[in-house]
Amino acid sequence: MSRLTSAQIDDLYTGLRQRKGLSASSIRQVHAVLRRALERPI
């Protein structure tokens, strides 16, 4: 698995907000899921 960078995560959030039109609440939910996933060992 390649390394995930903070720039890639920022791009994800920007895309969700601008291209997909998600609300701040939805983006917070995505953030919570992503954070939990990244905390788990592989």
CA–CA dist 37, 21 (Å, integer): 23
The 3-state DSSP class for residue 4 equals coil
CA–CA dist 15, 21 (Å, integer): 8
Q: What's the pLDDT tens digit per position in 13-31?
A: 999 999 999 999 999 999 9
DSSP class of 19: T
CA–CA dist 30, 16 (Å, integer): 9
In this predicted structure, what is the pLDDT of residue 5? 93
In this predicted structure, what is the pLDDT of residue 2? 73
Provide the residue ranges of all domains of the chain, joining segments of one domain with +.
6-39
Q: Is the pTM of this model over 0.85?
A: no
Token duo for residue 41: 């060992």
In this predicted structure, what is the pLDDT of residue 24? 93
